[in-house]
Amino acid sequence: MLQIECPWCGLRDETEYKYGGQAHVAYPEDPSALSDEEWAEYLFFRDNPKGPFAERWVHTGGCRKWFNAVRDTRTYEFLAVYANNEPRPDISSLTGADTAGATA
């Protein structure tokens, strides 16, 4: 069982969480000015890195709060957990030199 650290509740089982996709996907400032292609890009296109990936999680089985996490998609290791209004942490400092080039 994968355990995930909720910023408010601490370590809990993966089954208490729901996944929310890629983090830091900002809503377009002026959606009506976007072409269909740009709008489709915003709606449907997401990164799919092999390595550290910043993503959103919600602790549905506990405090019901959303938060962001950096997870290594190769190892499922959670490298950082942070509030969803904080900037993405510096991933190279979390993973060390060997994976520094793998940032998304």
Partner 1 sequence: MADLSTLQELRRSPLHDMATEIRDGGVTGDRAVQLVEQPFVTMVSVRIDPDSTGSRGIDEALGAPLPRRVGETSQAGGHTALWLGPDEWLVVSESDAESLVEQLRTAAGDTPAQVVDLSANRTVIELTGPGARGVLEKGCPADLHPRSFPDGTAIMTSLARVPVLLWKVDADHFRVLPRASLAQYVAAWLLDAVREFAPASPSAQAGA
Where on the chain is the footprint of partner 1 (CB under 8 A)? Answer: 1, 8-10, 12-13, 15-16, 61-65
Residue (53 or 67) nearer to partner 1, CB: 67
List for the chain the helix, strand, coil content (%; round to 5): 25, 30, 45
Shortest approach of partner 1 to residue 25 CB, angstroms? 24
Residue (49 or 61) nearer to partner 1, CB: 61
Residue (2 or 40) nearer to partner 1, CB: 2
The sign of the torsion formed by the CA atoms of 92, 94, 97, 102 equals negative
Q: Are 88 and 77 in contact (CB under 8 A)?
A: no
